[in-house]
Amino acid sequence: MDHGAWSVLKHLYPNADVPVIQLSIDYSKDPQYHFELAKELSILKEKGILMVGSGNMVHNLGMVAWNKLNETFAYDWAIEADEKMKSYLLSGDFQKLIDYKNQGKAFELAIPSPEHYLPLIYALGFKNKEEKIHIFNDKLVA
């Protein structure tokens, strides 16, 4: 398993006493495909299967300000993308999150490659109408 699975599951299940299947992401497919696939897979929740999407909404290692990691600092573009993403999440405007490539420069910088972002699209597809979205671990790191 890669760090996207074990780094989360080790906190949820420290005894590693649950079976886990990690899915791969087909990068040749567009975000709408991933959302629709997640909607189809969401039926597994009815069978008691926990679906976890692990990633980062804003993830640009190429622009990390390594010299400011111990300071309260974030780029303007990261703050803008983060605030817009949270707004879309909480308002239920998932289509703008799915169509992230057309959301402007802040999104372009926040998501230079999709591997850390697409798990969010899966989590949105797994969500049913009764489930509420809560924002947690909401800290920008330089």
Q: Which domain holds residue 100?
A: 3-126
Residue 131 in domain: no
Is the entire prediction scored with pTM above 0.85?
yes
Angle made by CA atoms 34, 96, 73, in degrees to the nearest 5: 105
State the pLDDT confidence band at 7, using cuts at 50, 70 and 90: confident
Q: Are 59 and 111 in contact (CB under 8 A)?
A: yes
C-alpha dist (Å) from residue 7 to 12, 22, 29, 122, 129: 9, 13, 26, 18, 28
Residue 112 placed within a domain: yes
- Does 78 map to a domain? yes
pLDDT in tens, 27-51: 899 999 999 999 999 999 999 998 8
Question: Percent of the chain having pLDDT more than 90?
Answer: 58
Answer whether residue 64 shows pLDDT above 90. Answer: no
